[in-house]
Structure 1
Amino acid sequence: MELRALILALATLLLSGVNAQFGFFDQMFGGQQQQAQQQQNVRSDSSWYQAQYENAHCDKYLCPGTLSCVHFPHHCPCAWGVEDKVELGEGIAVCASKGGYKEGETARKIELARKGLL
């Protein structure tokens, strides 16, 4: 009786070792396939964004680009760190790609464009 229990215990141990070994390979190779599937393009419909916007709680102004809650629309932050925010006056602000290495370069270029010089 004890011999059967010992054989059963050894068989269980061996099978769990085999499972762990193949589980490791699944993680190494099968996991990459799962990861590739997760890196697919996002859907082109806007239902996810609309749901996020509708579920956001804000008692002031909800920025459409960042879902930040601010006092005024022109206080909305830029969505990306590679953008500079430029206030055009009259409560209007735009975010534009950084225009160079100097501070204020984006604002300068936008002002030149507004004057028709760029």
Structure 2
Amino acid sequence: MRLITLLISLLLLILPASAQFQFFEHMFGGQGHQQAQPQNMGSDSAWFQQQYEGAHCDKYLCPHTLSCVHFPHHCPCAFPAVEDKVEFGQGSMACVSKGGFKEGEAARKIELARKGLI
């Protein structure tokens, strides 16, 4: 009986201390309990091809965003916060990195390049 009382007393002392250390571990970014880290994506295009082949679209399926649009030049850019969409003749378009601090800077540079000025 004394052994059981001693064990219960010992547990009552250890559990709060353990919880306290876990609190400080989490608070200061401790690595006591590792969580499973997500795996990196594969270096081949199999996942994307599977998504592309599984996408349903009865119009035009944009190859870089898998958006379903009426015409290829209606495709959105995948990262509009950092890309400008530039439409060319014949219904084609491209997404290019934003070219500066002014709106439409990338389109202006592309037009200058088309004219052979840069």
TM-score normalized by the length of structure 1: 0.70
Segments of structure 2 that go 5 or more residues without pairing to the other structure are 1-7
Matched with 1:55 is 54
Deviation at 1:91, TM superposition (A): 0.5
TM-superposition CA deviations, 1:30-69 (whole Å, max 9, x none): 55x445x32x542111111011111111111110100100
- Match in the other structure for 2:82: 82
Q: For the residues of structure 2 that align with 1:14 and 1:109, how far apart are their CA atoms? A: 71
Poorly superposed stretches of 4+, deviation over 3 Å: 9-26
Return the offset for 1:87: 0.7
Aligned-residue offset at 1:21: 7.6
* Structure 1 stretches lacking a partner, 5+ long: 1-8
Structure 1 Cα separation of the partners of residues 78 and 66 of structure 2: 9
What's the counterpart of residue 114 of structure 1? 114
Q: How many pairs does the alignment contain? A: 114
- Matched to 1:29, the amino acid is Q
Distance 1:30 1:12, change over 3 A: closer
Partner deviation per Cα, 1:92-117 (whole Å, 9 max, x = no partner): 11111111222221111001111111
Q: Which of 21, 28, 31 is 1:29 aligned to?
A: 31
Amino acid at match of 1:88: F
Normalising by structure 2, report the TM-score: 0.70
Question: Matched residues in 2 for 1:117 and 1:11: separation?
Answer: 82
* Distance in 2 separating the partners of 1:20 and 1:102: 54
Q: Partner residue of 2:5?
A: none
SS in 1 for 2:110: helix
C-alpha separation in 1, matches of 2:104 and 2:56: 34
CA RMSD for the aligned pairs?
3.2
- The structure where helix makes up a greater share of residues is 1
Query: Sequence identity, in percent?
Result: 67
Q: C-alpha displacement at 1:17, in angstroms?
A: 7.4
In the aligned structure 2, how far is the partner of 1:34 from the partner of 1:47? 27
SS in 2 for 1:90: helix
C-alpha distance in structure 1 between counterparts of 2:19 and 2:63, whole Å: 48
Query: Residue type of the partner of 1:98?
Result: K
